[in-house]
């Protein structure tokens, strides 16, 4: 079945058009041009600001002119992750999609439903002629996934809307009213290399499901970098190890699914036996949640030089010590992760080490507590640490007029109460709200599973529910 044949057809049509346009974070030139042309072809006022955000304005429909004005907001970029056996270029190819029962998914790559379904929904409202709505500003931001530079670059005064509806959450029964902030923690060091004095062994961790480093961080999924660190640490107990290379994980906001290390050890046979015993324990630990986990340990060859045993030990101990996962649960909001860290990327090549982390928290002091713990561990090992890309969280306002309205509509429409929540993801609302403190904000969206991983999929019935809910909200916006 073609996506154009499933309901709501207008959203899936626009999502298909959007997904034909390459749109990796920080490389959004094509999708910016696509959305700009879309707005101009509709005859709507369309502007691109100096960082690349697009604002398209649409006047209120007849009879809705006296309602509060709305900003509909989604981000244009997508997380680009693929399975290792898939040949795909995110910079030149459109996403290849398929229908699997009630789900739309991609063939071995991320789908881009995060946040493409939000973008497609806004496009559908902009081009509609029969959907009642007040004055609208459609805000399409860039680079949400790798720095939120679009939201950070949005200047005061560019928007006039009184209520912002962010269409970027992943559970259709949730109304989000708060989110976590984040900070990038980058650990680096350069080491001298020397000839390897042992036998080469290759360690590989793969087959993990990965996921969103905010929304999924509490679920106990395996982190390939952490598992690899456990294997290397096990080998330290009896053998002298020289690290040659490490290649683990990818983007800061994706839980690492794969990691590989090549090491030199003086007694490869004993080393492999030791680590194989730990492998069995790890597979048993994760059996119920990571059925696809594979750990491969084998002899190999390499012509590359190695680090000294002393420097290798420092790196392995650091990797074993870095906090990964939930750091603190919120004492104020039930079941909300307050702060966490994702050890997202570990790269060692030619003596150059880089470890990328994304620390999140809905409390600024807790966010820096996580980051400073990582910094302390790394500096004890003589490594360099840089903080960057800090962005604020979004403080919940559960009693706001728009939240009450959406709760009321949801109950009337679906005969159940929605979950009014704060989330551990990094939504753009906190950043936008810093420049527009009087603007009421809510985030909601259709059900998406596996965001930031090749298992990402969007639920078709949920998209129908989301579309109906969105239209009812627009039709019932309060008077000015």
Catalytic site positions: 77, 144
For residue 115, say if its preceding peptide bond is cis, omega within 30 degrees of 0. yes
Round the CA-based radius of gyration of the chain to a whole number and report it.
24
Q: Which residue has the tokens 């209520």?
A: 163
Task: Please check whether residue 190 is in contact with residue 385, taking contact to mean a CB–CB distance below 8 angstroms.
Answer: no
Q: If we measure between CA atoms, which residue out of 356, 348, 115 comes closest to residue 252?
A: 356
Task: Please check whether residue 264 is in contact with residue 306, taking contact to mean a CB–CB distance below 8 angstroms.
Answer: yes
In DSSP notation, 79-109 reads: ---B-TT----TTT----EEEETTEEEESSB
Give CA–CA dist 480/260, Å, rounded.
58
Give CA–CA dist 309/23, Å, rounded.
43
Burial class (CB in 10 A: 0-12, 13-18, 19+), 34: middle
Q: Report DSSP state, residue 4.
A: G
- Strand residue runs (E) in 112-240: 136-141, 163-166, 174-176, 181-190, 193-194, 199-206
Q: How many other C-beta atoms can be found within 10 angstroms of the C-beta atom of residue 463? A: 26
Enter the tokens of residue 189.
């060091």
Q: Phi then psi for 175, rounded to 5 degrees?
A: -115, 110
Name, in order, each residue with C-beta under 8 angstroms of 176's C-beta and a sequence gap of 6 or more: 166, 169, 421, 422, 423, 427, 442, 443, 444
Helix (H) or strand (E) holding 379: helix 364-380
- Strand residue runs (E) in 109-250: 136-141, 163-166, 174-176, 181-190, 193-194, 199-206, 241-249
Enter the tokens of residue 64.
């809705």
CA angle 367, 370, 374 (to 5 degrees): 140
């Amino acid at each position: 079945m073609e996506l154009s044949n499933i309901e709501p057809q207008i959203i899936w049509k626009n999502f298909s058009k959007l997904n034909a346009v390459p749109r990796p974070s920080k490389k959004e030139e094509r999708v910016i041009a696509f959305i700009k042309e879309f707005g101009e072809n509709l005859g709507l006022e369309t502007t691109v600001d100096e960082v690349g955000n697009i604002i398209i304005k649409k006047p209120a429909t007849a009879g809705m002119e006296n309602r509060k004005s709305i900003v509909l907001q989604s981000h244009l970029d997508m997380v680009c992750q693929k399975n290792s056996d898939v040949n795909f270029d995110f910079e030149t190819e459109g996403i290849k999609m398929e229908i699997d029962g009630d789900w739309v998914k991609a063939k071995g790559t991320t789908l881009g439903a995060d946040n493409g379904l939000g973008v497609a929904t806004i496009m559908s409202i902009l081009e509609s002629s029969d959907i009642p709505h007040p004055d609208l500003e459609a805000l399409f931001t860039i680079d949400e996934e790798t720095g939120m530079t679009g939201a950070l670059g949005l200047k005061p005064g560019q928007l006039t809307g009184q209520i912002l509806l962010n269409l970027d959450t992943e559970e259709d029964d949730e109304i989000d009213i708060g989110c976590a902030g984040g900070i990038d923690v980058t650990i680096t060091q350069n080491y001298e290399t020397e000839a390897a004095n042992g036998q080469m062994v290759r360690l590989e961790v793969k087959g993990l499901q990965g996921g969103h480093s905010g929304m999924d961080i509490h679920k106990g999924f395996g982190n390939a970098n952490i598992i690899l660190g456990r294997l290397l640490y096990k080998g330290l107990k009896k053998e002298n190890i020289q690290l040659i290379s490490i290649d683990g994980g990818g983007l800061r906001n994706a839980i690492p699914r794969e990691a590989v290390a090549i090491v030199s050890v003086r007694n490869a046979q004993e080393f492999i036996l030791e680590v194989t015993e730990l492998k069995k324990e790890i597979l048993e630990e994760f059996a119920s949640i990571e059925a696809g986990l594979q750990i491969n340990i084998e002899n190999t060859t390499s012509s590359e030089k190695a680090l000294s045993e002393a420097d290798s030990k420092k790196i392995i101990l650091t990797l074993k010590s870095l906090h990964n996962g939930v750091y603190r649960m919120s004492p104020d909001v039930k079941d909300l992760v307050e702060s966490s860290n994702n050890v997202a990327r570990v790269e060692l090549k030619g003596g150059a080490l880089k470890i990328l982390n994304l620390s999140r928290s809905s409390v600024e002091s807790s966010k820096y507590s996580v980051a400073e713990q990582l910094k302390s561990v790394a500096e004890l090992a003589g490594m360099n640490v840089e903080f960057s890309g800090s962005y604020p969280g979004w403080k919940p306002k559960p009693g706001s007029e728009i939240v009450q309205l959406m709760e009321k509509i949801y109950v009337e429409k679906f005969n159940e109460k929605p979950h009014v929540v704060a989330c551990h993801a990094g939504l753009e609302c906190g950043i936008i709200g810093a420049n527009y403190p009087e603007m009421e904000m809510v985030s909601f969206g259709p059900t998406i599973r596996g965001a930031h991983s090749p298992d990402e999929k969007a639920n078709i019935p949920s998209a129908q529910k989301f579309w109906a809910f969105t239209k009812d909200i627009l039709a019932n916006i309060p008077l000015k």
